Amino acid sequence: MNRASGDSARAGEARQGVPANTGRVDLHAHTNVSDGTDSPTALIAAAVRAELDVVAITDHDSTAGWDEAAEAARSAEVRLVRGAEISVVHHGLSVHLLAYLFDPADPDLLGQLSRVRSARLDRARSMVDLIGRDYPITWDGVQEWTTPGTTVGRPHIADALVASGSVSSRDEAFTSILASDGPYYVPHFAIPARAAIRGVRAAGGVPVIAHPGAEQRGRTLSDAAVADLTSAGLAGLEVDHRDNDAATRERLRRLAESLGLLVTGASDYHGTGKRNRLGENTTRPEALSEILRQAYGVALI
């Protein structure tokens, strides 16, 4: 396997060539650093079992899993794209922004991510206060499903609800108690999308909108909004994702083509926390090459 591009690259010197063996590329996966259930080491092992050639670690609003994943990937037959899935907002609409290969020490981005994580913590406590009036869960109980530093999200509250016998699965929690239009939902601060995109680019990263057609999560970005974000530096759209239906994928593919955006595909794997399986959707090697060409924050491992 070609290991020519190490991980020591720093901003400005990590423009990368096309790696060998990039047949199966999955650019969206979570670990227990956020709301996945695999450790970063276990994610790498799962990627090998899924016969991926490249996997991206993209925890919500955090790079805390990068070092462990990198260590595991160095001795495994899979290459690692270090990334994150950033909580952003565009004209009141909640959007997930995948960011690849940015400099994790960039002060501006670091500050923004830490602000989102702390807002998520306050928000989770507020939701648990509300839910705790009607269901037998406590903040201490929710924390048992996290470790210090975890990006806390509704899935951890779901785990406590399952443990208390209130629901039978994360899925059931999301369609009932945790629903975003339900009485217990509390929003949290997210970074304005244009600022986040510019921040990712300034840190040498490559920004891609996650599941842009996931209608079941709520309203989605209009074509005009995607064009607006493209003018801020957006690089691509995650078209092939289970939450985008077939007609939506076709619309997004045409939109990407007309705006000169990359098309990616990925699983959004969360371990046992969701049904999504590694490699169920993949990114064409040509799109990965273009991401590598544009990135200068950190290198592919």
Residues that bind ligand AMP (CB under 6 A): 35, 153-155, 170-171, 174, 270, 273-274
# residues contacting Fe ion (CB under 5 A): 4
CB of 72 to Fe ion, least distance (A): 20
Task: Please count the CA atoms within 13 angstroms of the CA of 114 that sit on its side-chain side.
Answer: 8
For residue 224, give every residue at least 6 positions away whose Cβ sits within 8 Å of its Cβ, in sequence order, or none.
none
Nearer to ligand AMP, 94 or 289 (CB): 94
35 binds Zn ion (CB under 5 A): yes
Q: Name the H helices within the chain.
A: 40-49, 66-74, 107-132, 139-143, 154-163, 170-175, 193-202, 223-231, 246-259, 285-294
Nearer to Fe ion, 159 or 268 (CB): 268
Nearer to Fe ion, 9 or 98 (CB): 98
Among positions 79, 90, 96, 123, the unique one binding Fe ion when judged by CB under 5 A: 96
Nearer to ligand AMP, 76 or 127 (CB): 127
Query: Which DSSP symbol is given to 29?
Result: B
Strands (E), 1-106: 25-26, 54-60, 79-90, 93-100
Enumerate residues 54-83 that contact Zn ion by CB under 5 A.
none
Q: What is the Cα–Cα distance from 171 to 163, expressed in whole angstroms?
A: 14
CB of 105 to ligand AMP, least distance (A): 25
For residue 140, give every residue at least 6 positions away whose Cβ sits within 8 Å of its Cβ, in sequence order, or none.
none
CB of 238 to Fe ion, least distance (A): 9
**Given the rule CB under 5 A, which residues bind Fe ion?**
85, 96, 210, 268
**Given the rule CB under 5 A, which residues bind Zn ion?**
35
